[in-house]
Structure 1
Amino acid sequence: MARTLENLLGDHVIRQNGDKVAISSLCGKDRVLGLYFSAEWCPPCKGFTPKLVDFYNVKVKEESPKFEIVFVSWDKDETTFSEYFNTMPWLAMPYGLEKKTKLCKKFRVQGIPKLVLIDGETGQTITRDGYTHLMEDENGQEFPWRRKKFSDIIKGKLLKDSKEVDAIEELKGKVTGLYFAAHWCPPCRGFTPELVQTYEKLKADGKKFEIIFVSSDRSQDSYTSFSNSMPWLAVPFADSRNQSLKNLYEVEGIPSLVMIDEQGGVITLDGRLAVNEDIDGQEFPWYPKPITELTEGAAIQLNESACLVLFVEPEDEEVDRAKELLLQPATVEHEKGEHRDLFFFIGADDDICDSVRDFAILPDHVPLLTILDFPEQKVYISEEKNITTELVCSFVRDYLNETLPSRPVRHS
């Protein structure tokens, strides 16, 4: 745990007086560490920080869990950082861009204020949405807001054809899709007919599958109109489970389709992309793969994460060969689950391959082994043209050890 945090934060953080505090001292059983992404120039941050201070001052006096916060600054200069930090009773990461960028990529921080909570013993992320949890639970009755079980949240009555049904009975033994959407959202209205088509095809094929509409509609009439276009279940309008499910799966944009297995575990948070690329449901229930082909749908992953891309000729035998070369290191990363550091792609004949190569100003030849770290605005390129599994493993190892040479994405 300590080594993991040191890789992210460095070996120490600081107090207001400049004293250093070893990261290892923040780790251990019954400890919770909060990473507070904030800035003085951000009005929502300045509104939230006093609430967090009050909450912190209460929680640090409690024996279990022991709570500490580290401020991760988005301030524009070190002077402003110091002034803002002086209003906080907790610790801070020394001012600087490099570590902040890594943390933002790791925890998918795209806006502030953001409060990420980490288990001090295991290093696992407890929640990336401590901000929302605190706003809804100001006294911290459920702190540290560990994930609830899907079955505990969804239990109760759902609607089907305007009639109430029991959620647990309806979902027993089935894969479940949670469809987060709203009538006011044009992409939702565009995606819903596609999802209906896939749903009805899978049901006709005898698949044990159900979908639940989780609404973000703003009125009962809009909710009713939209839900009537869907052949599946729905959480009632204004039911507290709508927000609870959004919090549980940290849904930040719609439409979104979260796929849940028969035991309540997450299959994929990217069900919408899976349906778009597999409208007939041939790969249902769309378990993530260690290696995927670089398509338009991968754009989100490229923007949020470091991605290894092996560019090859579009012939089937070349793509198959590329999969063989990447399989070993890709599987190792894939097994890390939500803590993986790299996503693996094969760039072949999709139009986005040319766009990515042009954007990153990559060489024209194939095969070409690269790691594209767009969040950190870095590109890593192997000069070798004879690509082997051993070469890929070494390339990945050097990247993870931060010894692999890089250049800016847009270089002169």
Structure 2
Amino acid sequence: MAAALEQLLGDFLMRGLEEKIATKLLFGKGKVLALYFSAHWCKACQNFTPLLKDWYKKIRRSDSGKNNFEIVFISSDNEEDEFKEYYNEMPWLALPYVARDKKTKLARKFRIQGIPALIILDADAGTVITTSGVAKVTNDPSGAEFPWKPKLFSDIIKGKLLKNKVGEVDATTALNGKVVGLYFSAHWCPPCRAFTPDLIGVYSKVRAEGQDFEVIFISKDRSAESFAQYFETMPWLGLPHGDKRTEDLISLFGVEGIPSLIILEKDGSVVTRHGRETVRADPDGKEFPWYPKAMNMLTMDHVSQLNLSPCLILFTEGEESDIVKAQEALQATAEKEHQKGSEQELLFFYSNDDDFSDYLRDFTLLDDRNPLLVILDIPGRKKYIHPATEITPEIVKTFVEQYFSGKLTPEAIKT
């Protein structure tokens, strides 16, 4: 994975506005790399950058960071002159501004939804240490716990959990041998209050079928009173309000918004980070524990995935025979891409003829012919439209191969 990351960054990076440095020098045993997504126009970035500069200098002076740590600035500035002015204040490396395609791929790979964002990486394995670098630097300005190697879920969750009408239970005992849903939510959040009854319904049905399933409410409520009022409506376990484990879990799983439902396998590994969408699509819990599929029927519940990653979509008339043909056309290529696991770059969907499909066509200015094969890169504001009127497995395979090889010409998504 380190080699793939090195390729994404390119052969050379900037050190100041004049000097270049070979990217390969940043990788190796014991090295840590941080990617700093930021921009001059962003007020929050302007506030955080001075803090990051002070922190960076401390780490670089330390024995552990002197030769083993570097930051790379990934600019979201609108103009190169803005980039130069902003970067001139920074003591670390930068991705050249002209490498816009690499910036887009890096933002896509690390699911950057907002800036500033600081991604901390193991530069030997190429794996993510934490996506919550901004919070880590803010909360640990001396770098005492740097590089913040992640703990296991089983270690973080140890201790007492709350259970209505029971009191406290031991987390390790209560969760042993169970699939676990981590429900990040709050009473003040309307989408949370709308989703909670749905989750209660699925939770009850799955448990009634004898499945080993438990949910933990991880509160973002602003007061203990709000927490108590909200938790009283829930049949599952909860972390006490203000518990330190809350921030540890948010950091471990990179939770950026609520409601969020993370589903964990019995061994603590992640089944899906899109539990909310998955549960809403399966209100009877028939597909528990909701392992990710190679392809899915496109619904409004997939908005977050559309906003985070390029998606291949085969639009259809929505008749049963059309859906079957779409599944057959997509199956082989979707399964091949799905086998990449966490490295999967392209998600696969087929559509029904419904209001959300119509809305998505309107939003991205697609025509209304069916079938219609497209790749929508909403984060990159690009779309790729295949001209074929009959979609076969071979057409899908070639279309995807050409997309990954850069042979397709995109059209801009104008909204």
TMscore range, shorter length: over 0.9
2:90 matches 1:88: yes
CA distance in 2, matches of 1:244, 1:231: 24
Q: Which residue of 1 aligns with 2:109?
A: 106
Instruction: Map 1:137-152 onto structure 2 (within 5 A).
Output: 137-152=140-155
3-state DSSP class of the match of 2:348? strand
Question: CA shift at 1:3, angstroms?
Answer: 4.9
Q: Which residue of 1 aligns with 2:205?
A: 201
Could you tell me which amino acid in structure 2 is paired with residue 102 of structure 1? K
2:348 matches 1:344: yes
3-state DSSP class of the match of 1:375? coil
Which of 44, 55, 68 is the matching residue for 1:66? 68
1:213–1:235 contact (8 Å) kept in structure 2: yes
2:317–2:352 contact (8 Å) kept in structure 1: yes
Q: 1:405 to 1:77 in 2, by over 3 A?
A: closer
Q: Which residue of 1 aligns with 2:35?
A: 35
Between 34-43 and 199-208, the greater mean CA deviation after superposition:
34-43
Question: CA shift at 1:160, angstroms?
Answer: 0.9
Q: Which residue of 2 aligns with 1:45?
A: 45
Q: 1:287 to 1:26 in 2, by over 3 A?
A: same
CA distance in 2, matches of 1:124, 1:79: 33
Question: CA shift at 1:388, angstroms?
Answer: 2.5
CA distance in 1, matches of 2:16, 2:120: 22
2:2–2:125 contact (8 Å) kept in structure 1: no
Which of 307, 327, 336 is the matching residue for 1:303? 307
Q: Which residue of 1 aligns with 2:373?
A: 369
Q: Deviations over 1:114-142 (max 9, x none)?
A: 10122222322222211111212223233
Q: Work out the number of aligned pairs and report it.
A: 411
List alignment gaps of at least 5 residues for structure 1.
Answer: none
3-state DSSP class of the match of 1:34? strand
TM-score (norm 1): 0.94
2:128 matches 1:125: yes
Question: CA shift at 1:173, angstroms?
Answer: 0.7
2:239 matches 1:235: yes
Between 335-344 and 383-392, the greater mean CA deviation after superposition:
383-392
CA distance in 2, matches of 1:356, 1:41: 30
CA distance in 2, matches of 1:242, 1:250: 12
1:2–1:24 contact (8 Å) kept in structure 2: no
Q: Deviations over 1:25-46 (max 9, x none)?
A: 2222222221111223333323
1:174–1:210 contact (8 Å) kept in structure 2: yes
Q: Deviations over 1:380-405 (max 9, x none)?
A: 11222342222212211111111112
Q: Which residue of 1 aligns with 2:118?
A: 115
Q: Deviations over 1:204-262 (max 9, x none)?
A: 11111111110111111111111111111111111101111111111111111111111
Aligned Cα root-mean-square deviation (Å)? 2.0
Q: Which residue of 2 aligns with 1:55?
A: 55
1:5–1:23 contact (8 Å) kept in structure 2: no
Q: Which residue of 2 aligns with 1:353?
A: 357
3-state DSSP class of the match of 1:146? coil
Question: CA shift at 1:48, angstroms?
Answer: 2.0
Question: CA shift at 1:265, angstroms?
Answer: 0.7
TM-score (norm 2): 0.93
3-state DSSP class of the match of 1:102? helix
Question: CA shift at 1:202, angstroms?
Answer: 1.5
